[in-house]
Amino acid sequence: MNYDIIIIGAGPAGLSFARSLAKTDLNILMIEKSSIDQLSQPAPDGREIALTHLSVKLMKELGAWSHIPPEVISPIKKAKVLNGNSSYFLNFGNDNSSLEALGYLVPNYHIRQALYDVVKIIDNVEIMTDVSVTDVQPGCISLSNGNNLQASLIVAADSRFSNSRRKMGIPASMHDFSRVAIVSRMEHEKSHNQTAFECFHYGRTLAILPMTGKMSSVVITVSADVADSILNMTEEQFNIDVEQQFKSRLGSMKLIGKRYSYPLVAVHANRFVAERFALIGDAAVGMHPVTAHGFNLGLRGQNTLAKEIKDAISKNKDIGSMQLLSKYDRKHQSITKPLYFGTNKIVELFTNDTLPAKVVRSVTLRFANHFAPIKRMITNKLTEKDEKGYLPFIKL
């Protein structure tokens, strides 16, 4: 059977792209290797996603924001960044009273659930689960069940380790940080006052992100060879360890539920398009989560591509033409490239514990704190209030 568009992967990027093209005449197929149960009732995965104002706006336009229970949305009103053993903080959010919040923290599985709920009812989108894409050619895919399908455009949203990207011969820069993010939820004695803390300690980074009530998402980033020792701690040891690392700022702390771990590998495709083929989401750019860009960029990229496609429909033009795809490539690359390489530089600096780097780390924070235009610029980019800004959040 022939389709107008085939989307590979029904993660948050693929789902939001499908929703963006609802109510068009396009005949769209989504292919997802997970089961329908995993897709329709996503399980918690420990990721709490910091969304910018622009992302909230896009989620509202997609009709998905109202599907997220308000009680799981937590505004981040202030952010404090700390370096090494110093108690000196770089502060964000205090001097901008017009801003309701810097961003909003939402559990990833609620985002996925909300997006699935708005896509499952769209007439022009068919979702095929329990089958994976095994090969991709221009305008054609092969499935694990032996079928071959054609479309005017194939859009791959099949994760940062995208097999489709490789099959289409698109090279990518890949950076393995040799570090692991361990994420969990913890209850604590004192209120976080909707403040996010980013502690770039020597040897490990600790992020405490405000969830609803007296609960936070705790993200520990360590080198891969010490991750197991933290994952294997008893709950009691883990509670004491985090409380001590955080110098009891939130009083006693208690683990809730599981600890999840994610190896930190960042990827940026050299180009986002090929003949009748485009990359979106992490398949285009898989970010280190320190600046919390991943899904924010994914939402923005799919929106850019969907707009180009709708424009082509209105002008009766080919939705898979190289002219259209190149426009998307140019626009999105101009946003993702500086962010990707900039984020990797931040990680490099703030995980470098040599003496010169420690000095630069300290000076950087103090300079940013005392130089109002720099702070304003970072806050604008942090919140994506101006829609041109790109730096949503410093998170780990």
Ligand X SMILES: Cc1cc2nc3c(=O)[nH]c(=O)nc-3n(C[C@H](O)[C@H](O)[C@H](O)COP(=O)(O)OP(=O)(O)OC[C@H]3O[C@@H](n4cnc5c(N)ncnc54)[C@H](O)[C@@H]3O)c2cc1C
Binding site for ligand X (CB under 6 A): 8-14, 31-34, 47, 49-50, 108, 132-133, 157-159, 163, 181, 183, 262, 281-282, 289, 292-296, 298, 395
Closer to ligand X by CB, 256 or 359: give it: 256
Q: What is the DSSP string of 290-331?
A: GG--HHHHHHHHHHHHHHHHHHHHHTT--TT-HHHHHHHHHH
Closer to ligand X by CB, 198 or 243: give it: 198
With vertex at residue 267, the alpha carbon angle to CA 149 and CA 81, rounded to the nearest 5 degrees, is 135
Cβ atoms of 167 and 213 within 8 Å: the answer is no
Closer to ligand X by CB, 190 or 337: give it: 337
Cβ 316 to ligand X, closest distance in Å? 31
CA distance 156 to 328: 14
Closer to ligand X by CB, 299 or 309: give it: 299
Buried b (16+ CB within 10 A) or exposed e, 377-394: ebbbbbbbbeeebbbbbb
Closer to ligand X by CB, 158 or 198: give it: 158
Closer to ligand X by CB, 183 or 306: give it: 183
Cβ 77 to ligand X, closest distance in Å? 16
Cβ 61 to ligand X, closest distance in Å? 17
Cβ atoms of 62 and 16 within 8 Å: the answer is yes
Closer to ligand X by CB, 50 or 319: give it: 50
Q: 261 exposed, middle or buried (CB, 10 Å; 0-12, 13-18, 19+)?
A: middle
Cβ 162 to ligand X, closest distance in Å? 7
Closer to ligand X by CB, 96 or 132: give it: 132
CA distance 250 to 335: 37
Buried b (16+ CB within 10 A) or exposed e, 163-190: bbbebbebebeebebebbbbbbbbbbee
CA distance 81 to 94: 13
Cβ 349 to ligand X, closest distance in Å? 20
How far CA 219 is from CA of 170, 185, 193, 194, 197, in Å, comes to: 32, 9, 18, 16, 10
CA distance 324 to 313: 11
Cβ 221 to ligand X, closest distance in Å? 9
Closer to ligand X by CB, 215 or 360: give it: 215
By residue count, the chain amounts to 396
Cβ 90 to ligand X, closest distance in Å? 19
- Per the rule left: phi > 0, alpha: psi between -120 and 50, beta: everything else, 316 is left
Cβ 63 to ligand X, closest distance in Å? 18
Cβ 209 to ligand X, closest distance in Å? 8
Cβ atoms of 248 and 209 within 8 Å: the answer is no
CA distance 202 to 353: 6
